[in-house]
């Protein structure tokens, strides 16, 4: 038996309880977690914004040590440190075939499987494939990547979602060029990783926008040269900070219609807006045909940072080891499993950066 955070149903509180894991079968790996980040996507599962089979163990950003492996697993062995990959690519679908592994059609098929059971025999699903809110988990072999050498597993956990997403949004999707102005909406874990990544890309003016004034110090430590408190005048203020033109690039890490629209309006004519935040189906963003023509702006979605984890993880590790990327600066709370509900409440209230569950 291991302790885990179980979501019984949409809208229900998490239950911290014992679950029973099977030994890993063929192509499976059992991992003892060192740490797991609490991401907004986990919150989106609890309120039904994103839907997966329930009951489920949540958590998708984590790292740990291999306990045992099933038949046919050769790229990791017991005792190896690994980073969990919640969206593994199949390598054979249309998107994988054209190099868009972040859009793999089979990436989330594992969420429908029964991977564990509660003490009373209730079937459990892995919320986003890897069920990282547990002392141990059993995952498909393609959900584990060798952890980068020289980086503590408690830090490496953040590479599995927040950092891959933020870095990829800057370097793969928005393709920020040296000297460009960048505005980042939302200074949570992903937003902080995005700010650091914009600095790594050599951006000129880097503006952070958030509803919470307490986020200013976090944003500036991550690389923001300016901080704007969100209001009805946000777009106007960003134009003022960019010589009247608007930012070259806006990256939205919130997932709300009003924020997406403001991000788009904050860019210059011909500017680029990348949407990282996950919003609900009721969040409708509208544009008129004339403004789309006149402004010539680009609006694009961004899934998992448009990243290939197997390729990008070593790049990120190099940045960490060189001191360009500070993983500890993303974490504002270190908690146990029992602290996850409070971390969700802080997220809803717009407080803090990344909460990290330490096992």
Which of 109, 114, 141, 143 shows the shortest CA–CA distance to 126? 114
> In the block, which residue shows the tokens 């870095």?
167
Give the mean model confidence (pLDDT) for residues 134-158: 97
3-state secondary structure the chain: CEEEEEECCCCCCCEEEEEECCCCCCCEEEEEEEEEEECHHHHHHHCCCCCCCCCEECCCEEEEEEEEECCCCCCCCCCCEEEECCCCCCCCCHHHHCCCHHHCCCCCHHHHCCCEEECCCCEEEECCCCCCCECEEEEEHHHEEECCCCCCHHHHHHHHCHHHHHHHHHHHHCCCCCCCCEEEECCCHHHHHHHHHHHHCCCCCEEEEECCHHHHHHHHHHCCCEEEECCCCHHHHHHHHCCCCCEEEEEECCCCHHHHHHHHHCEEEEEEEEECCCCCCCCCCCCCHHHHHHHCCEEEECCHHHCCHHHHHHHHHHHHHCCCCCCHHHEEEEECHHHHHHHHHHHHCCCCCEEEEEC
The packing angle between helices 234-241 and 257-265, to 10°, is 30
pLDDT at 257 (0 to 100): 97
How large a percentage of the chain has pLDDT more than 70?
100
pLDDT tens digits for 30-44?
999 999 999 989 999
pLDDT beyond 90 at 351: no
Distances in Å between the alpha carbon of 62 and those of 83, 96, 147, 162? Answer: 6, 24, 11, 10
CA dihedral defined by 198, 204, 210, 214, rounded to 10 degrees?
90
Band of pLDDT at residue 181, cut at 50, 70 and 90? very high
Structural domains of the chain in order of their starting residue, each with its CATH number: 2-160+326-358 (3.90.180.10), 166-303 (3.40.50.720)
Instruction: Evaluate whether 295 touches 285 at the Cβ level (below 8 Å).
Output: no
pLDDT at 74 (0 to 100): 96
pLDDT at 50 (0 to 100): 87
- Dihedral sign, CA of 96, 98, 102, 105? negative
pLDDT at 24 (0 to 100): 97
pLDDT tens digits for 200-238?
999 999 999 999 999 999 999 999 999 999 999 999 999
Question: How far is it, in rounded angstroms, from Cα 291 to Cα 93?
Answer: 37
Give the mean model confidence (pLDDT) for residues 260-283: 96
pLDDT at 259 (0 to 100): 97
Question: How far is it, in rounded angstroms, from Cα 315 to Cα 175?
Answer: 16
The answer to which of 31-35, 44-48, 145-149, 238-242 has the lowest mean pLDDT is 44-48
Band of pLDDT at residue 147, cut at 50, 70 and 90? very high
- State if pTM tops 0.85: yes
- Average pLDDT value over all residues in the chain: 96
pLDDT beyond 90 at 25: yes
| N-to-C CA span, the chain | 15
pLDDT at 349 (0 to 100): 86
pLDDT at 216 (0 to 100): 97
pLDDT tens digits for 47-98?
888 889 999 999 999 999 999 999 999 999 999 999 999 999 999 999 999 9
pLDDT beyond 90 at 112: yes
């Amino acid at each position: 038996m291991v302790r885990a955070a179980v979501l019984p149903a949409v809208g229900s509180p998490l239950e911290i309880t014992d679950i029973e894991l099977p030994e890993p079968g063929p192509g499976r790996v059992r991992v003892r977690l060192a740490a797991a980040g609490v991401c907004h996507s986990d919150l989106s599962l609890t309120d039904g914004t994103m839907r997966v089979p329930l009951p489920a163990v949540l958590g998708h950003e984590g790292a740990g040590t291999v306990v045992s492996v099933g038949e046919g697993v050769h790229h990791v062995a017991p005792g190896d440190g690994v980073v969990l990959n919640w969206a593994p690519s199949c390598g054979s679908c249309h998107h994988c075939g054209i190099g868009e592994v972040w859009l793999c059609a089979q990436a989330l098929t594992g969420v429908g499987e029964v991977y564990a059971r509660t003490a009373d025999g209730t079937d459990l699903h892995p919320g986003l494939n890897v069920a990282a809110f547990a002392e141990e988990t059993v995952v498909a072999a393609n959900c584990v990547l060798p952890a980068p050498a020289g980086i503590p597993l408690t830090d490496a956990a953040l590479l599995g979602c927040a950092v891959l997403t933020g870095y990829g949004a800057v370097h793969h999707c928005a393709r920020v060029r040296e000297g460009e102005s960048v505005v980042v909406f939302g200074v949570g874990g992903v937003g902080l990783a995005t700010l650091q990544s914009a600095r790594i890309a050599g951006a000129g003016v880097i503006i952070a926008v958030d509803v919470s004034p307490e986020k200013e110090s976090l944003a500036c430590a991550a690389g923001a040269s300016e901080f704007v408190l969100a209001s009805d005048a946000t777009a106007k203020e960003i134009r003022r900070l960019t010589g009247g033109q608007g930012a070259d690039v806006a990256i939205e890490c919130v997932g709300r219609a009003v924020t997406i629209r403001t991000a788009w309006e904050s860019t210059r004519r011909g500017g680029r807006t990348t949407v990282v935040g996950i919003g609900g189906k009721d969040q409708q963003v509208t544009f008129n045909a004339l403004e789309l023509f006149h402004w010539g702006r680009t609006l694009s979605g961004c899934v998992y940072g448009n990243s290939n984890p197997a390729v990008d993880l070593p790049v990120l590790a190099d940045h960490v080891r060189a001191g360009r990327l500070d993983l500890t600066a993303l974490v504002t709370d270190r908690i146990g499993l029992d602290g996850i509900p409070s971390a969700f409440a802080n997220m809803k209230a717009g407080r803090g950066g990344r909460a990290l569950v330490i096992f």
